[in-house]
Amino acid sequence: MRARSMVTALLTGAGFALAGLLGTGTASADVTPLIVGGSDADQEYSFMVSLQRGTGGHFCGGSLIKPDWVLTAAHCVDGTSPGSVRARIGSNDRTQGGETAAASEIVVHPDYDGQSAGADIALVKLSAPAKSAPVSLGSTTDPGTKSRLLGWGQTCPERGGCGAPVTLQQLDTQVLDAAKCTDIDGSVELCTDNPGGKAGACYGDSGGPQIVRTGSAWELIGITSRSGNGDPTCATGPSIYTSAPAYSSWISQHAG
């Protein structure tokens, strides 16, 4: 098994690694949300999305980038029927609050193959525009850029070692030089630090946002993709995030 597919399985519940580290469209019921070493969200994020099955179970995160479009990871929704996906938007509680909308269309980047680095990005069109305020795409992704991770992924590093939190978690970190991660395409992916060597994204965080503060607003720079060292135990190394700015033209092509 190639390093990327192993990591994906880890992130989704079968792997925090790539799809697993974060969650996948084929993830089983044990894929739950939480960031290791983070804390309860200290504010409301109007653009934060919990992608859920028809039964209400969270399987991946996402970001509202237009009133009717959610940006997430390709491994979260590849091969998934839009009719089986719902979005809860703008609530720190993945079980209630905010607003909900059904998915009407899923667009996976054509270069995504689940094996090669890059292209782990997808768009989910909502059946009706949300009232919540979307997040804008950022542009600064240089090493040293201070950022924040958001998600409902597992909070302990070993897969299945703990339950999922209901409350959204956040973690402040930074972008690293791409050389700090393995099996990464530095032109379209971000290597993201694991503060203290023990904090970072984990199973259930897939597809969720990496954001930066610009003035009084947040901007989106990354989408949770996979482990940056191929280890199925979360937060033992950096994480890899798909660079949203790198795919801005593709996003605009489909979402306007």
Q: Calculate mean pLDDT across residues 225-236.
A: 93
pLDDT in the model for residue 54: 77
Give me the residue label for tokens 């009133």.
67
| Catalytic site includes residue 75 | yes
Q: Calculate mean pLDDT across residues 239-253.
A: 98
What are phi and psi for residue 230, nearest 5 degrees?
Answer: 75, 5
If DSSP codes are grouped into helix, strand and coil, which group holds residue 10? helix
Q: How distant is the alpha carbon of residue 171 from its chain centre? A: 13
pLDDT in the model for residue 27: 31
Closest CA to 192 of 155, 231, 229: 229
- Judged by phi (left if over 0) then psi (alpha if -120 to 50, else beta), residue 69 lies in beta
What's the sign of the alpha-carbon dihedral 219, 5, 20, 78? positive
Exactly one of 5, 50, 58, 75 is catalytic; name it: 75
Type of residue numbered 251: I
pLDDT in the model for residue 91: 97
Exactly one of 132, 147, 206, 243 is catalytic; name it: 206
| Catalytic site includes residue 109 | no
Distances from the Cα of 2 to the Cα of 9, 80, 113, 223, angstroms: 11, 23, 12, 21
Exactly one of 120, 183, 193, 205 is catalytic; name it: 120
CATH of region 48-134, choose from 3.40.50.970, 3.40.50.11810, 2.40.10.10, 3.40.50.150: 2.40.10.10
Render pLDDT for 10-28 as a digit per residue (tens, 0 to 9): 344 333 333 344 443 333 2
Q: Over pLDDT 70: what percentage of the chain?
A: 86
Cα gap 68→119, rounded to integer Å: 22
Please give the sequence-ordered ranges of beta strands (E in DSSP) within 31-95, or none if there are none. 39-40, 48-53, 58-66, 69-72, 85-89
Render pLDDT for 165-185 as a digit per residue (tens, 0 to 9): 899 999 999 999 999 999 999
Cα gap 164→104, rounded to integer Å: 28
- Please name the CATH architecture into which domain 135-245 falls: Beta Barrel (2.40)
| Catalytic site includes residue 177 | no
Cα gap 97→59, rounded to integer Å: 17
Q: How distant is the alpha carbon of residue 43 from its chain centre? A: 19
Write down the domain spans for the chain: 48-134, 135-245
